[in-house]
Amino acid sequence: MRSCDVLVIGAGPGGLAAAFSARKAGAGDVIVLERDRKAGGILNQCIHNGFGLIRYNEELTGPEYAARAISEASDSGAMILLSRHVSDIRKENDGSFSVSAYTKDGIEVYRTKTIVLATGCRERTRGNISIPGSRPAGVFTAGVAQNLVNIRNVMIGRRVVILGSGDIGLIMARRLTLEGAKVMAIAEIMAEPTGLARNVSQCVQEFGIPLYVRTTVSRIIGKRKLEAVELSDLDKDGKVIPGTARRIDCDALVLSVGLIPENEVAQTAGVRLFANNAVDTDRYLQTSIPGVFSCGNCRHVMDLADYVSEQGELAGRNAVHLINDQDMESWDEEKSNCMKKGFPDEGSVTCTICPNGCQVVWDEKAGTFSGNRCRRGARFAMEEKSNPVRTVTTTVKTMAGDGPLLPVRTLQKVPKDKVVELVSELRSVRVEKPVGNGETVFSTDIEGNHITVIATSDCGE
Ligand SMILES: Cc1cc2nc3c(=O)[nH]c(=O)nc-3n(C[C@H](O)[C@H](O)[C@H](O)COP(=O)(O)OP(=O)(O)OC[C@H]3O[C@@H](n4cnc5c(N)ncnc54)[C@H](O)[C@@H]3O)c2cc1C
Ligand code: SF4
């Protein structure tokens, strides 16, 4: 049996940051148990950029962010053990905890003084919402669609309808469009999109994808395979308005209808949960069981990985403070709630330099700007109007043939109207040898500018 001071369950951004900070705060042995074969959590399939703006002051893709978090944790001396599915937590008479994990060789038991739960969340499925109609193939949750398209090289459909306008659905709308699908509609039951304004602007409006609010999928049509869905308008009480149903032919329906904190392991310890399955903690991120802390999406679903990491750091530090009988630090619940959500304001430019997503209005005649919280927003708005550019993120095939894809991004920004063309060109690229994160896999010239495409993850031996 292995013993440690802090045992972290889950190696997503929350768990990795907790392990890193526990070591930094002076913990002796820190162990992270992860059920997957790879650390990084859900970020490994989030190949787009927009991560790290707060934590690293740099714009990274999901896999790049995950790689940084993994290095920080392992360089600090924390031990990350993969392929360990934690099944049970038990409190011992001496106040410590026994934690059991399934491995391919059987069950392992760990003994620890404190625990940080960082088990993330899972998606709501069709079973969690009731959509009338048949049960054909072709209905996916957004995360499953993301995994199939971004990692497994499986295109889920050519004509796609998305139900729900949370960030994962919006990001998938752009991704599927770049991969050559037509996103016929995004339907949102609320009066405003629920995702960040920056994602509504850059993932939906920029590609001319129709987004209907107060609208739902009222029927799924198709016997074995999805043939169509019926969209209906909703009144302000969320009831279908009779006579508004219209049929949209499609071969894939993507559900982006919310996330549920994943807390089965927490329950084995008797940790108190809210009705939505989130962990109830005090302001120090300690659960109803002293010595057990919780952070990230299993505690409360958060919009940005950067804030998850920040919270993980606090949970890891507080676990060490508890062991050392020191004062614990409080989590500021408001901190992660300052970002603009919903439709961008009319006539504004959504600044994407940082997650605040300021709605900048540039009065060209008067030469004035409003809505920007800092000067960078003014520069962004001017560039967006005169010469809009984007970092391109996509995948390329590898020597593994039909195996996992390699996520890539451009080092330089590309004119906005050349993005689709470049992604299409990259679809025929195949990387024939092992490459490391940051290595060049392709280069080209666009309008006289040299564009380098780099791997954002390791691939091969
Ligand atoms: C499909 C999807 C896409 C998302 N896209 C974005 C995005 O683009 N940008 C963004 O900022 N946020 C995104 N999010 C939100 C994202 O979840 C958070 O930003 C962040 O990854 C949450 O970190 P976490 O550490 O709490 O959880 P996760 O990243 O989910 O990590 C939890 C880890 O715990 C492990 N685990 C769970 N149970 C056990 C167990 N019993 N034993 C051992 N290990 C276990 C899991 O395998 C996983 O590795 C997305 C979420 C989902 C579900
Ligand atoms: S204007 Fe400043 S604060 Fe606002 S989104 Fe842009 S960079 Fe962030």
Amino acid at 259: L
Domains, the chain:
2-122+260-334 (3.50.50.60), 125-257 (3.50.50.60), 349-386 (no CATH), 393-455 (3.10.530)
Torsion of CA 121, 119, 61, 150, to 10 degrees: -60
Query: Is the predicted pLDDT of residue 169 greater than 80, yes or no?
Result: yes
32: Cα within 13 Å, side-chain hemisphere: 36
What would the pLDDT profile of 263-290 be if each residue is shown by its tens digit? Answer: 999 999 999 999 999 999 999 999 999 9
Calculate mean pLDDT across residues 387-408: 88
| φ/ψ of residue 460, rounded to 5 | 90, -175
Which amino acid residue places its CA nearest to atom 3 of ligand 2?
373
CA distances from 88 to 257, 263, 280, 293, 355 (A): 29, 11, 19, 15, 37
Query: Is the predicted pLDDT of residue 390 greater than 60, yes or no?
Result: yes
- Hey, which residues does 317 pair with through a beta bridge? none
pLDDT at 90: 97
The answer to whether 132 touches 122, Cβ cutoff 8 Å, is no
The answer to whether 61 touches 407, Cβ cutoff 8 Å, is yes
Q: What is the mean pLDDT of the chain?
A: 95
Query: Is the predicted pLDDT of residue 400 greater than 70, yes or no?
Result: no
Task: Confirm or reject: Cβ of 15 under 6 Å from ligand 1.
Answer: yes
CA of 12 to the centre of ligand 1 (A): 6
Token pair, residue 194, equals 């629920």
Q: Where are the beta strands (DSSP E) in 262-330?
A: 292-294
pLDDT at 126: 78
Quote the CA–CA distance of 236 and 239 in Å, as a whole number: 7
Task: Confirm or reject: Cβ of 373 under 6 Å from ligand 2.
Answer: yes
Q: Which ligand is nearest to the CA of 63?
A: 1
Confidence of residue 291 (pLDDT cuts 50, 70, 90): very high
- Hey, which residues does 362 pair with through a beta bridge? 369
Q: Where are the beta strands (DSSP E) in 10-154?
A: 30-33, 49-51, 60-61, 79-81, 85-91, 97-103, 106-117, 121-123, 139-141
CA of 376 to the centre of ligand 2 (A): 6
Question: Which numbered atom of ligand 1 lies nearest the CA of 297?
Answer: 26
Q: Which ligand is nearest to the CA of 279?
A: 1
Calculate mean pLDDT across residues 358-366: 92
Task: Confirm or reject: Cβ of 229 under 6 Å from ligand 1.
Answer: no
| Residue 28, SS3 per DSSP | coil
Mean pLDDT is lowest, of 81-90, 126-135, 428-437, for: 126-135
pLDDT at 403: 67
Which amino acid residue places its CA nearest to atom 10 of ligand 1?
304
Confidence of residue 303 (pLDDT cuts 50, 70, 90): confident
Quote the CA–CA distance of 156 and 148 in Å, as a whole number: 7
CA of 241 to the centre of ligand 1 (A): 37
CA distances from 3 to 7, 114, 261 (A): 9, 11, 28
Amino acid at 91: K
What would the pLDDT profile of 181-205 be if each residue is shown by its tens digit? Answer: 999 999 999 999 999 999 999 999 9
Query: Is the predicted pLDDT of residue 364 greater than 90, yes or no?
Result: no
- Hey, which residues does 398 pair with through a beta bridge? 431
pLDDT at 402: 62
Torsion of CA 398, 400, 403, 405, to 10 degrees: -10
The answer to whether 361 touches 370, Cβ cutoff 8 Å, is yes
CA of 358 to the centre of ligand 2 (A): 5
Task: Confirm or reject: Cβ of 370 under 6 Å from ligand 2.
Answer: no
Quote the CA–CA distance of 377 and 351 in Å, as a whole number: 6
Element (H, E) at 220: strand 215-221
Calculate mean pLDDT across residues 391-416: 90
Which stretch, 76-80, 357-361, 398-402, has highest mean pLDDT?
Answer: 76-80
Amino acid at 340: K
Query: Is the predicted pLDDT of residue 461 greater than 60, yes or no?
Result: no
pLDDT at 334: 83
Token pair, residue 200, equals 């509504």
Calculate mean pLDDT across residues 11-23: 98
∠ CA(428), CA(429), CA(430), 5° rounding?
A: 115
Calculate mean pLDDT across residues 415-435: 93
pLDDT at 434: 87
* pLDDT above 70: percentage of residues in the chain: 98
Question: Which numbered atom of ligand 1 lies nearest the CA of 304?
Answer: 11
Calculate mean pLDDT across residues 42-59: 94
pLDDT at 335: 76
DSSP for residue 423: H
For 180, other C-beta atoms within 10 Å of its C-beta total 12
Task: Confirm or reject: Cβ of 377 under 6 Å from ligand 2.
Answer: yes
Most informative mutation of 201, 374, 384 for ligand 2 (most atoms within 8 A of CB): 374
Measured in Å, how far apart are the chain's first and last C-alpha atoms?
32
Between residues 346 and 73, the one the model is more confident about: 73
Query: Is the predicted pLDDT of residue 133 greater than 70, yes or no?
Result: yes
